[in-house]
Amino acid sequence: MTTNTLIALVDASAYAESVCHHAAWIAGRTDWKVKVYHVMGRRDAVEKQDLSGAIRLGARSALLEQLSELDATRAKLAHEHGRAILEDAKAIITKGAEITVETRLRQGDLVETVTAKEETGDMIVIGKRGEAAGLAMEHLGSNLERIVRASHKPVFIANRAFKPITSALVAFDGGPSSLKAVDYIARSPMFAGLAVTLVFAGKETPAIQKALSDATATLKAGGFDAQTVIESGEPEKVLAQITSTGSQDLLVMGAYGHSRVRSFIIGSTTTEMLRSCKVPVLIMR
């Protein structure tokens, strides 16, 4: 069941603005509304504690009360900070566009929140890195892989800098998820008018030739004049090389497959690819 809703996850990282711009781009093409979530960690919402059990001398009670009030003040500031993040996100998404945006401030674990709420959306947008990872190339957002593994929805991973998307590269291995990705592209207004290229990394076989032919036929029925590329080599190296040329604006991958792409998408090589890839990545389930 479709909801015509995009779920965007924002924090205070440098990638949050890119998440908002990509969410606006997707919503503008699909006519979806956007639900923006900011999830505070449990430590960001400390409740006033009863520390009386720790009091041995009456003179300490005033200090303990002040510490407890300080915790409550910090929690209040964290809520205000979260609301400010959501207000900024809404302003970016709606700037110059008629997009319906709802904001949600939640407390707890990000992945648990996404798992509980993902059925209310058709796609999830998250930044490649979060607050803790900063801009360091060797680090990814700590929750990114967990969300990719846990979610049953397509996950759009925004890179740091947004630019309008005019082309898409599809990692194709002939497996069910890559075929599903092709069908999704052929049907979704999100991809309308984009230049689409299917790339297979590995040994060319009659089966792969037929699978690529069938895939291009599906895309042609959707109005795409798709190109195909067959390159020998490891999928992660082939895809990294192609996306590094600047000729592609978006990489589309299936989450599962019948070849090495399976371990590539959900294993350690996925992390390596996401670290080096300078374009946003859409992972299909």
CB atoms within 10 A of CB 285: 14
**CA 41/CA 129 separation, integer angstroms:** 16
**CA 166/CA 188 separation, integer angstroms:** 15
**What single-letter amino acid sits at 184?**
Y
> From first to last of its 285 residues, what are the pLDDT tens digits of the chain?
789 999 999 998 889 999 999 999 999 999 999 999 999 876 655 444 454 455 555 556 766 777 777 777 787 888 899 999 999 999 999 998 899 999 999 988 888 999 999 999 999 999 987 655 444 444 455 678 788 878 889 999 998 889 999 999 998 988 888 899 999 999 999 999 999 999 998 888 999 999 999 999 999 999 999 999 999 888 878 888 888 888 899 999 876 443 444 444 445 555 666 676 789 999 887
180 alpha-carbon distance from chain centroid = 18
* Sheet strand arrangement including 101-107: 101-107, 33-40, 5-9, 123-127, 155-158, 281-284, 251-254, 167-171, 195-201, 227-231
> Percentages helix, strand, coil for the chain, rounded to the nearest 5?
45, 20, 35
**Domains of the chain, first to last:** 5-44+78-157 (3.40.50.620), 163-284 (3.40.50.620)
HSE-CB of 184 using CA atoms within 13 angstroms:
22
Token pair listed for 67: 């510490």
**What single-letter amino acid sits at 39?**
V
